[in-house]
A = this chain, B = another copy of it.
Amino acid sequence: MTAAVSLDLSASAAQLTAQLVDTESVSGNEAALADAVEAALRGYERLSVQRDGNVVIARTELGRPMRVVLAGHLDTVPIAGNLPSRVAGDRLYGCGTSDMKAGLALQLRAAALVGEGRVDPAADLTWFFYDCEEVEASRNGLNRVAASSPELLSADLAILLEPTNGRVEGGCQGTIRAVITVTGRRAHSARSWLGDNAIHGAAPVLELLAGYSAAEVEVEGLTYREGLNAVYIGGGVAGNVIPDSCTITVNYRFAPDKSEADAEAHLRAVFAGFVLEVVDSAPAARPGLDQPLAQSFVAALGQPAEAKLGWTDVARFSALGIPALNFGPGDPNLAHTVDEWVSLRAIESAEVALLAFLSSGA
């Protein structure tokens, strides 16, 4: 049995980030961190706290005319020798620093300050801390609560504290995966002319991918850069057999001007003549920047919003009709890397901006 972790929410957001990073919470192993978050939040009478599996939800009920959600996932990708955290200059290194324990720290700091009455929010607030974002969608805690109790997600704006380098990133790309199967005929490789080599038959598929020009699509003033890539290839039977099958898994990241059906149609057009099966997809989310609350948040930050180039759980709010933005101090390009780090100054700046918005802007 491990000793319970105790979080000190009076620490700075940067120090709190280090506490969170040092509480290991690889997907499936979030219980200790969820316990610590729950215990810390239950200390505030102004917050009503619920626990559902490894999802922790806190709410204010201040009778404000609007409600803003602050959401973030507790889990990280697997540790890669990058724990415990360490500070070097302005950088805090460690697994989950950028994605997204710095964001969680901001959520918790806001909860503490609102809980203590030191920040008086213009909108009511809901906090979501959830598990299993880094693994298959069927395990995602936010997804589960959205299905079982969608009313808990209800809000006028959702802010997901995923890493965005402290900018507002609107909406998100959709993602679709498909498997292209090229078939052939087995034969002994010493008499290869009796067979039909499926790996050779995959040459035109790879040529299409290598020559593909990804679109840049403007939606509500933001530019979404798409991408179409092979993520897996496999084929072969034995070292002396002409292979009769070769499969290529492709991943198409598409802009929010397209539905999942549009994305599938595009794949079928690109790979016309090949056998293609969709194995996985998730919709894009529009940026929602036509909403006044979202505009107010962008204005509070003082820098223009950008497109989110990645799929995030904003799409789960978007699917419920709730405008949703990504905003977090981490750097998305460092997510999932062994040398992941976050800038301590960036955490501080993002905290200032978020609290300013919550106090007045919202």
A interface, CB within 8 angstroms of B: 173, 175, 177, 188-194, 197, 199-203, 206-207, 209-210, 214, 225, 227, 229-243, 246, 248-249, 251, 253, 280, 309-311, 332-333, 335-336
Q: A233-B246, A246-B233 are in contact. Are A227 and B309 (CB under 8 A)?
A: no
Asked if B333 and A227 sit within 8 Å, CB to CB, the answer is: no
Give Cα A190 to B308, complex, Å.
9
**Residue in B closest to A173 when the chains form the complex, CB atoms:** B190
**What are the residues of chain B within 8 A of A253 when measuring CB–CB?**
189-190, 192
* Residues on the B chain within 8 Å of A248, using CB: 199
Could you say which of B173, B203, B232 contacts A243, with CB atoms under 8 Å apart? B232
User: Which B residues are in CB contact (< 8 Å) with A241?
Assistant: 231
A350 to chain B, nearest CB (A): 21
A190 touches B309 (CB 8 A): yes
Query: Given A210-B200, A229-B200, A233-B234, do A239 and B249 touch, yes or no (CB 8 Å)?
Result: yes
A203/B210 in contact, CB under 8 A: yes
Query: Using Cβ atoms and an 8 Å threshold, which residues of chain B touch A231?
Result: 189, 199, 236-243
Task: For the complex of A and B, list the 4 residue pairs with the smallest distance between their C-beta atoms, beginning with the closest.
Answer: A232-B236, A203-B206, A190-B310, A192-B227
On chain B, the residues within 8 Å of A238 by CB distance are 231
B239 touches A232 (CB 8 A): yes
- Closest Cβ of chain B to A213, distance in Å, is 11
Query: Which B residues lie within 8 Å of A251 (CB)?
Result: 189, 239-240
Which residues of B have CB within 8 Å of A249?
Answer: 236, 239
Cβ contact within 8 Å between A190 and B311? yes
Residues of B within 8 A of A236 (CB): 230-234, 249
Give the docked Cα–Cα distance between A210 and B184 (Å): 13
Q: Kindly provide the distance from the CB of A215 to the nearest chain B CB, expressed in whole angstroms.
A: 12
- Whether A206 pairs with B200 at a CB distance below 8 angstroms is yes
Q: When chains A and B are docked, how far (Å) is the Cα of A208 from the Cα of B254?
A: 32
Contacts of A194 in B (CB 8 A): 333
Inter-subunit contact B189/A229 (CB<8 Å): yes
A175: which B residues are within 8 A, CB to CB?
189-190, 240
- CA A231 – CA B239 in complex, angstroms? 6
How many Å lie between the Cα of A296 and that of B240 in the bound state? 33
Contacts of A203 in B (CB 8 A): 203, 206-207, 209-210
Which residues on the B side are within 8 Å of A311 (C-beta)? 190
Whether A243 and B230, one on each chain, are in contact in the complex, defined by CB atoms closer than 8 angstroms, is yes
Interchain CA distance A203-B210 in the complex, whole Å: 7
Q: How far is the CA of A248 from the CA of B236 in the complex (A)?
A: 10
Q: What's the least CB distance linking A248 to chain B, in Å?
A: 7
Check A209 against B190 for contact (C-beta < 8 Å).
no
A242 to chain B, nearest CB (A): 6
Q: Nearest residue in B to A212 (C-beta to C-beta)? A: B200
Between-chain CB contacts (< 8 Å), 12 pairs: A173-B190, A177-B239, A188-B310, A192-B227, A193-B214, A197-B209, A197-B210, A200-B206, A200-B209, A203-B203, A233-B236, A236-B249
Kindly provide the distance from the CB of A270 to the nearest chain B CB, expressed in whole angstroms.
14
Residue of B nearest to A232 (CB): B236
* Minimum distance in angstroms from A124 CB to a CB of chain B: 32
Assembled-state Cα–Cα distance A203/B236 (Å): 17
Instruction: Please state if A197 and B243 are interface contacts (CB–CB under 8 Å).
Output: no
CB distance from A327 to the nearest CB of B (A): 17
A238 to B209, CA, bound (A): 18
- The docked-state distance in angstroms from the alpha carbon of A248 to that of B202 is 12
> Whose C-beta in chain B lies nearest to the C-beta of A230?
B199
